[in-house]
C-alpha cells in the first residue's frame, strides 16, 4: 500500500520461537502493522471467520501461514481460504521449514501468493520477515477492506 496504512497480519504459527522471531522482526523494523497470532489451524479459522474468542477480530489483510500445524494443517487452511469468496483475495505467504518440492508445488496449486522457507539463522529469519512485510506493504497494492 503506497500510503503505508496499517494492515492486519495474521501469523499462523505453532512454534513459540518462530512467533517470537516474527514479533522481533516487526518490532526491530518498526513495522506499524498489527500482528495477530493463531497457534493452530482451528484458531486460524476462528480468527478468519470471527468465531468464539475471535468474534471481534479485524479482517486479515495478509496471512503468514506455517504448513505444519496441529488440528488443521496449513494446506487445509490455505485450501479453505482460497476457496472462500470472502477470503480468497487475502494474500497468503507460506512461511515454513519445509523446502520439499512437493510442498512448494502443492502450495502454489492451492493459490498461495508466495512460498518462503524459514531460514534457520535468526538474523536471516528476521530479514526474511522484513522483506515479506516490505513487499506486501510498500510494493504491492492490497485490496481495501
* CATH code, domain carrying 80: 3.40.50.2300
> CB–CB of 39/13 below 8 Å?
yes
Q: Cα Rg for the chain, rounded, in angstroms?
A: 14
Q: Residue 145: its pLDDT value, please?
A: 60
The reported pLDDT for the residue numbered 3 is: 47
SS3 label, residue 33: coil
For residue 116, list its beta bridge partners: 95
Q: Please state the domain count of the chain.
A: 1
- Give domain status of residue 143, yes or no: no
* 103-115 pLDDT, tens digit each: 999 999 999 999 9
Residue 31: inside a domain: yes
Q: Which residue has the cell 482451528?
A: 42
pTM: 0.91
Cell 493463531 locates to 38
Q: What is d(CA 23, CA 35) in angstroms, rounded to the nearest whole number?
A: 8
Q: How confident is the model at residue 144 (pLDDT cuts 50, 70, 90)?
A: low
* Burial class, 123, CB count within 10 angstroms (exposed 0-12 / middle 13-18 / buried 19+): exposed
- What mean pLDDT is predicted for residues 84-89? 96
Alpha helices (H) along 49-114 = 74-83, 101-109
pLDDT at 77: 97
Question: pLDDT band for position 2 (50/70/90)?
Answer: very low
pLDDT at 4 over 60: no
**pLDDT of the residue at 34:** 87
In a domain, 145, yes or no: no
Reported as a single tens digit per residue, the pLDDT across 23-50 is 888 776 666 688 999 999 999 999 999 9
User: Is residue 2 included in any domain, yes or no?
Assistant: no
Strands (E) located in 15-141:
34-38, 62-65, 92-96, 114-117
**Domain extent at residue 39:** 8-138
Amino acid at each position: 500500500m503506497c500510503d503505508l496504512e496499517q494492515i492486519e497480519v495474521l501469523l499462523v504459527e505453532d512454534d513459540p520461537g518462530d512467533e517470537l522471531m516474527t514479533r522481533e522482526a516487526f518490532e526491530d523494523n518498526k513495522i506499524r502493522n498489527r500482528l495477530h497470532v493463531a497457534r493452530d489451524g482451528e484458531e486460524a479459522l476462528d480468527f478468519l471467520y470471527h468465531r468464539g474468542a475471535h468474534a471481534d477480530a479485524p479482517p486479515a489483510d495478509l496471512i503468514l501461514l506455517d504448513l505444519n500445524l496441529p488440528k488443521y494443517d496449513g494446506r487445509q487452511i490455505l485450501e479453505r481460504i482460497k476457496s472462500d469468496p470472502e477470503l480468497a483475495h487475502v494474500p497468503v505467504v507460506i512461511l515454513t521449514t519445509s523446502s520439499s518440492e512437493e510442498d512448494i508445488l502443492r502450495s502454489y496449486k492451492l493459490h498461495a501468493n508466495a512460498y518462503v522457507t524459514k531460514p534457520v539463522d535468526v538474523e536471516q529469519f528476521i530479514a526474511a520477515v522484513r522483506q515479506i512485510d516490505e513487499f506486501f506493504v510498500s510494493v504491492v497494492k492490497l485490496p481495501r477492506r
